[in-house]
Amino acid sequence: MTERKIRIMVAKPGLDGHDRGARVLARCFRDAGFEVIYTGCHQTPEQIAVSAIQEDVDLVGLSCLSGAHRYLFPRVVELLKEKEAEDICVIGGGIIPEQDFEMLYHSGIKAIFTPGAHLDDIVDWVRQNVEPK
Among 15, 82, 105, 127, binds other proteins (CB under 8 A): 15
56 makes contact with other proteins (CB under 8 A): yes
Among 17, 124, 129, 131, binds other proteins (CB under 8 A): 17
Paired residues of 10 in beta bridges: 38, 61
How many of the other CB atoms lie within 10 Å of CB of 31?
11
- With a CB cutoff of 8 Å and minimum separation 6, the contacts of 23 are 38
Which contacts of 96-102 are long-range, i.e. CB under 8 A and separated by 24 or more positions?
96/64, 96/69, 100/69, 100/70
Among 41, 81, 108, 125, binds other proteins (CB under 8 A): 41
* Residues touching other proteins, count (CB under 8 A): 64
Angle at 13 between CA 70 and CA 117, to 5 degrees: 75
Within 13 Å, how many C-alpha atoms sit on residue 95's CB side?
8
- Lay out the site mask for other proteins across 101-130 (x = CB under 8 A, - = otherwise): -------------xxx-xxx----------
Residue ranges in contact with other proteins by CB under 8 A: 1-5, 7, 14-20, 23-24, 26-44, 46-47, 50-51, 53-56, 65-72, 75, 83-85, 95, 97, 99, 114-116, 118-120, 133
